[in-house]
Amino acid sequence: MSVKLPSRFNFPKAEKKYEWLPMLLDAYHIIDSAIKIELEQEENKRNQKCACKKGCAICCQKPTVPITDIELTGISWYASEQLKGSIREDVKSQLIIHSKTSSCPFLVKEECSIYPVRPLACRAFHIFGETCIENEDPWLTREEDMWTHSKDAALRASKKILPYWGIEDSKKQEIAFNSGFIMYNSKNMHEFDWSILYRNMLVFE
């Protein structure tokens, strides 16, 4: 049976307005599709289902998430121009107090409020065996249960966003990827001053 791939998130008007947005959404779709295929293969190999499921948000309670400028820009756009109603108000409140907490400011009622533009690192995180327990860092406690997508998928996704930094030649993109350009141009999402985004959201109201 063939695997049904996830649909690409589409925001036609915004994608025409912001040239970086199609790059980002294409990269996310590559990773989401690769995970859909490769995770099923891994489950068959292990004869075990991935423990991650909807409503499980332990990894969002004390996150260490590397994030690039284009991903930050995507989150800022989505929070400022797409979030509506009570979820928007909850996010704004959490952005204000973020520096005093350990939780992701976009976690609302145990769900990701920016799901279409959640970072690549969030998409890549999967665990087998038992679901994570509070305050657990599975990289330290059970690395053998950790799983992520292939290097090939990461390369293909990186090629979509590297033009954001002016790297458009395919060979140069491969060199940049293999030399860790993406990693070196990432920052810890939790250490970002999210009050900046709070003020930006106010501009769009």
Reported as a single tens digit per residue, the pLDDT across 79-111 is 999 999 999 999 999 999 998 888 899 999 989
Q: Give the model confidence (pLDDT) of 127-136 as tens digits.
A: 999 888 888 8
Q: What is the domain count for the chain?
A: 1
Give the CA-trace dihedral at 117, 95, 105, 85, to 10 degrees. Answer: -70
User: Is 7 a domain residue?
Assistant: no
User: Is 39 a domain residue?
Assistant: yes
User: Is 8 a domain residue?
Assistant: no
- Other Cβ atoms less than 10 A from the Cβ of 4: the count is 7
User: Is 9 a domain residue?
Assistant: no
In whole angstroms, what is the distance from residue 102 CA to residue 146 CA? 22
Percent of the chain with pLDDT over 90: 79
Nearest to 36, CA basis, from 116, 119, 135, 150 = 150
User: Is 96 a domain residue?
Assistant: yes
Containing structural domain, residue 61:
21-203
Q: What angle do CA 79, 91, 84 make, to 5 degrees?
A: 55
User: Is 126 a domain residue?
Assistant: yes
Q: Given this model, what pLDDT does residue 1 score? A: 52
Nearest to 38, CA basis, from 130, 132, 142, 152 = 152
β-pairing, 111-112 vs 107-108, is antiparallel
Residue 61 has pLDDT above 60, yes or no: yes
Q: Given this model, what pLDDT does residue 132 score? A: 87
Backbone phi and psi for residue 112, each to the nearest 5 degrees, phi listed first: -80, 120
User: Is 13 a domain residue?
Assistant: no
Q: Give the model confidence (pLDDT) of 34-58 as tens digits.
A: 999 999 999 999 999 999 988 888 8
Predicted TM-score (pTM) of the model is: 0.94
Q: Given this model, what pLDDT does residue 90 score? A: 97
